[in-house]
Structure 1
Amino acid sequence: MMSHTAYMIASYAVAALTVAGLVLWIIGDGRARQRELKTLEAAGIRRRSAEVSSGEGK
């Protein structure tokens, strides 16, 4: 039978692995989105936030 200490260590280990997995997933997804943006910008597609002002009022 598991002792209380072993249960606590296992619980913290599972939680730490879950958080580490989520952090790695977020980092990987962010890098993928950056690559996607670079590909779109290289194709001439620009973001609205990067529009050059034409001097006309909106």
Structure 2
Amino acid sequence: MDVFAGPAQVSVQCRERAGTVTAEGCTDDVRSRPADGSWLTGVCFRGPARLPDVPTC
């Protein structure tokens, strides 16, 4: 598991629904895949996790 030291901008290639994650009062079931092939849970993002211009994996 990686943790960002602070705010970071991440470009993602696609997203998909996955298991529900709850952290710090936020709940989401979307995960996104950046170019390095890892997965990020949408609960990490500031703003909407479901962006209309990001395709489904």
* TM norm. shorter chain > 0.5: no
Give the number of the structure with larger relative contact order, counting CA–CA contacts within 8 Å between residues 6 or more apart.
2
The answer to which structure has the higher helix fraction is: 1
Q: What's the TM-score, normalizing by structure 2? A: 0.15
Q: Which has the larger radius of gyration?
A: 1
TM-score (norm 1): 0.15
Which structure has greater strand proportion? 2
